[in-house]
């Protein structure tokens, strides 16, 4: 691994190449090479990536691959898959790939093969899901479960919500699913509005079982249930289950560890939707479809581990991200699924990408002198077209886009799908090629309006196409982004698996809580002090 990334020969070669092509337009690149739309593509695991509308030439990817090789990517990939402790600041292995490995595989951590435990938990989840889905699992007063409320935040919420929405088509419609994450009581109040406690199952999802939002919401849920059953704590066993790594805290909270579904410290929160944290997903779609999702993840894992890098989807996407972040100095990237079921995918990706790669020091604590993680955001198409796309087309910033689309709709009605797909294709075409002043004039546009109607183009995008969204397809898509994030982190030499940046705010909030609740001397800065006083004076109505 180069001690100093930006002074490595590979980086310098890229900087020289960038100087050559920074002003070259995609129009020229396409005109020069009529095969470009076929050459700059790759397919794997039922996903087709067209990356031809990126600002690259035939030299770019080989140079980026050289950089990745010099950064030790090959060894890092093997280190991850084989359970080495690559999360160095927490001294942990990073083994989300073991969660979807088939029975019979072997991944050894601290001298023990973890795969049998992974499958034992999956079996326990499947047995529980079958009971709930069939109505065999009865609530405290004998009613079957009709409502599932997942309480969790961050990785213990975003993955489950995203997957539920993404796979709603495959879900058991008689069960309703709600998700509570925010400590704002409104979230709990609205999620439980109208629910019958006798028919409601709470899933308390927390890796640590100490997260204040989740513990507060779980406590409120317990009271909500106990109020309905005249305080009979025996009801908890029928209406609460826990997903956690922390058995001690789970039983301290009052949930029998028989009703706990375990995972392990080598599963990062934002990489946990395919662990026990996916219980709500399995309840929704059933164990067989959950297995299909895991198989989809695994297929992409295998592709990532074995495919040549010039055909490797996660590697290609990661290298393009590095190219834009570090050479074009791009700050954000938009993820634009043309699939309504993926409406929460951008929100899910925000944690995956930004909690992983929002780091300013290298693995060994040196401050970096290059940009790291990009800002991810997005909304489903075509909605975004009528809101923020204006800025992507004609604004002053360069925003590479990932378009995601599927050939077949899960709800084929009329010609909706053709219109949807025509739009996604039109957007990447418009972004890349734009419209020149001459073209605008040729349409008879008044001269004063010409500049307003010019599209400069040369705005890059990837298009990811699949046949149809399915549990397996979702697994492939998530694994693709997980591995892309990892490859970026290897090049940037940062630890993609810790998240120290969330700690300070948590500690400060803990200090402030008692100061809001009782009049006591304040020793913050003058701004924080005065905001606390403002709140104290108004926290009680009429106060």
186: number of CA atoms within 13 Å, CB side? 1
Both tokens of 80, joined, read: 């991850």
Residue 494-513 contact track with ligand F6P, rule CB under 6 A, x = bound: -----x--x-----------
Tokens of 275: 């662990």
Q: Give SS3 for 489.
A: helix
Residue span binding ligand F6P (CB under 6 A) among the ranges 113-121, 153-161, 320-328, 473-481: 153-161
280 binds ligand F6P per the rule CB under 6 A: no
DSSP letter assigned to residue 353 = I
**Least CB distance from residue 353 to ligand F6P, whole Å?**
13
The residue within the footprint of ligand F6P, chosen from 17, 92, 96, 270 (CB under 6 A), is 270
Which range touches ligand F6P (CB under 6 A), out of 147-155, 400-408, 430-438, 440-448? 147-155
154 binds ligand F6P (CB under 6 A): yes
Stretch of residues binding ligand F6P (CB under 6 A), selected from 117-125, 192-200, 207-215, 509-517: 207-215
Give dist(CA 105, CA 116) in Å, integer.
9
In the bound complex, what is the minimum distance in angstroms from residue 324's beta carbon to ligand F6P? 26
Q: Which is nearer to ligand F6P, 151 or 322 (CB)?
A: 151
Task: Work out whether 153 is an interface residue with ligand F6P (CB under 6 A).
Answer: yes
Q: Is 483 a catalytic residue?
A: no
Residue of the chain from 178, 207, 289, 344 that contacts ligand F6P (CB under 6 A): 207
- The per-residue DSSP string of 60-89 comes to HHHHHHHHHHHTTHHHHHHHHHTT---BGG
Query: Which one of 15-23, 189-197, 203-211, 420-428 is the stretch in contact with ligand F6P (CB under 6 A)?
Result: 203-211
Convert residues 311-350 into a mask of x (bound to ligand F6P by CB under 6 A) and - (unbound): ----------------------------------------
- Our CB check for ligand F6P shows the closer of 59 and 506 to be 506
**CA–CA gap between residue 185 and residue 205 (Å, rounded):** 18
Residue 152 CB, shortest distance to ligand F6P, in Å, is 6
Strands 176-180 and 200-205: unpaired
Q: Please report whether residue 60 would count as binding ligand F6P according to CB under 6 A.
A: no
**SS3 category, 308:** coil
Q: Which 3 state secondary structure label does DSSP give 280? A: helix
Ranges of H-type helices in 84-206: 115-134, 158-166, 185-192
Total residues contacting ligand F6P by CB under 6 A comes to 14
214 near ligand F6P, rule: CB under 6 A: yes
Q: How many whole angstroms from its chain centre is CA 484?
A: 12
Vertex 316 angle, CA 311 and 317, to 5°: 140
User: Tokens 């058995």, residue?
Assistant: 247
Please state, in angstroms and rounded to a whole number, the distance separating the CA atoms of residues 489 and 483.
Answer: 10
Rank residues 270 and 359 by Cβ distance to ligand F6P and give the closer one.
Answer: 270
Among 171, 181, 211, 382, binds ligand F6P (CB under 6 A): 211
By C-alpha distance, which of 198, 144, 152 is closest to 172? 144
Active-site annotation holds for 416 = no
Applying CB under 6 A, the span of 83-91, 168-176, 201-209, 247-255 interacting with ligand F6P comes to: 201-209
Least distance (Å) between residue 208 CB and ligand F6P: 3
Cis-peptide, bond into residue 382, ω within 30° of zero: yes
Residue 264's closest CA among 76, 121, 84, 126? 121
Give the per-residue contact string, 107-126, with ligand F6P (x = CB under 6 A; - = no).
--------------------
Residue 61 corresponds to which tokens in the numbers above?
Answer: 């990817």
Q: Are 80 and 483 in contact (CB under 8 A)?
A: no
Residue of this chain nearest to ligand F6P (CB atom): 269
**CB neighbour class for 252 (10 Å; exposed up to 12, middle 13-18, buried from 19):** exposed
Query: Two tokens at 349?
Result: 């990706």
Establish if 359 lies at the interface with ligand F6P (CB under 6 A): no
Among 54, 87, 150, 156, binds ligand F6P (CB under 6 A): 156
74 in catalytic set: no
Write down the catalytic residue from 339, 355, 379, 482: 355
Residues labelled catalytic: 355, 386, 506
Chain contacts with ligand F6P (rule: CB under 6 A): 153-156, 206-208, 211, 214, 269-270, 355, 499, 502
């Amino acid at each position: 691994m180069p001690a100093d990334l930006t002074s490595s020969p590979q980086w310098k070669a890229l900087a020289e190449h960038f100087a050559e092509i920074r002003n070259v337009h995609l129009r020229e690149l396409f005109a020069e090479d009529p095969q470009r739309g076929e050459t700059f593509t790759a397919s794997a695991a039922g996903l087709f990536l067209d990356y031809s509308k990126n600002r690259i030439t035939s030299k770019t990817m080989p140079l980026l691959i050289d950089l990745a090789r010099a950064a030790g990517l090959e060894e890092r990939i093997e280190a991850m898959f084989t359970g080495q402790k690559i999360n160095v600041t927490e001294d942990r292995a990073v083994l989300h790939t073991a969660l979807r490995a088939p029975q019979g595989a072997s991944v050894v951590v601290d001298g023990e093969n973890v795969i049998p435990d992974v499958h034992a938990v999956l079996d326990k989840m499947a047995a529980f899901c079958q009971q709930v889905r069939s109505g065999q699992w009865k609530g405290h007063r004998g009613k079957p479960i009709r409502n599932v409320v997942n309480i969790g935040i961050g990785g213990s919420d975003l993955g489950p919500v995203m997957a539920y929405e993404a796979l709603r088509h495959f879900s058991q419609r008689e069960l309703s699913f709600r998700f509570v994450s925010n400590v704002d009581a409104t979230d709990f109040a609205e999620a439980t509005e109208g629910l019958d406690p006798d028919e409601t199952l709470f899933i308390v999802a927390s890796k640590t079982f100490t997260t204040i939002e989740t513990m507060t919401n779980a406590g409120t849920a317990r009271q909500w249930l106990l109020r309905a059953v005249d305080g009979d704590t025996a009801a908890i066993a029928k209406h609460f289950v826990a997903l956690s790594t922390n058995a001690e805290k789970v039983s301290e909270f009052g949930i029998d560890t028989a009703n706990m579904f375990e995972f392990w410290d080598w599963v990062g929160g934002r990489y946990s939707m395919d662990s026990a944290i996916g219980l709500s997903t399995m309840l929704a779609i059933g164990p067989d479809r959950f297995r299909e999702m895991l198989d989809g993840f695994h297929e992409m894992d295998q592709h990532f581990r074995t495919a040549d890098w010039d055909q490797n989807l996660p590697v290609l996407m990661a290298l393009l991200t590095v190219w834009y972040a570090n050479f074009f100095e791009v700050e954000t990237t938009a993820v634009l699924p043309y699939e309504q079921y993926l409406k929460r995918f951008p929100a899910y990706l925000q944690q995956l990408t930004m909690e992983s790669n929002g780091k300013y020091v290298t693995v060994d604590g040196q401050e970096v002198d290059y940009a790291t993680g990009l800002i991810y955001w997005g909304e489903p198409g075509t909605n975004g077209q009528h809101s923020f796309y204006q800025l992507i087309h004609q604004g002053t910033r360069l925003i590479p886009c990932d378009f995601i689309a599927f050939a077949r709709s899960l709800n084929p009605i009329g010609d909706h799908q053709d219109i949807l797909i025509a739009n996604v294709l039109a957007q990447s075409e418009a972004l890349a090629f734009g419209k020149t002043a001459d073209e605008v004039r040729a349409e008879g546009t008044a001269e004063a309006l010409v500049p307003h109607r010019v599209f400069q183009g040369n705005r890059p995008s990837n298009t990811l196409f699949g046949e149809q969204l399915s549990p397996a397809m979702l697994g492939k898509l998530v694994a693709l982004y997980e591995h892309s994030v990892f490859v970026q982190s290897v090049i940037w030499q940062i630890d993609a698996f810790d998240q120290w940046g969330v700690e300070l705010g948590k500690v400060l909030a803990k200090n402030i809580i008692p100061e809001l609740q009782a009049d006591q001397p304040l020793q913050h800065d003058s701004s924080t002090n005065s905001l606390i006083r403002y709140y104290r004076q108004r926290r009680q109505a009429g106060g």
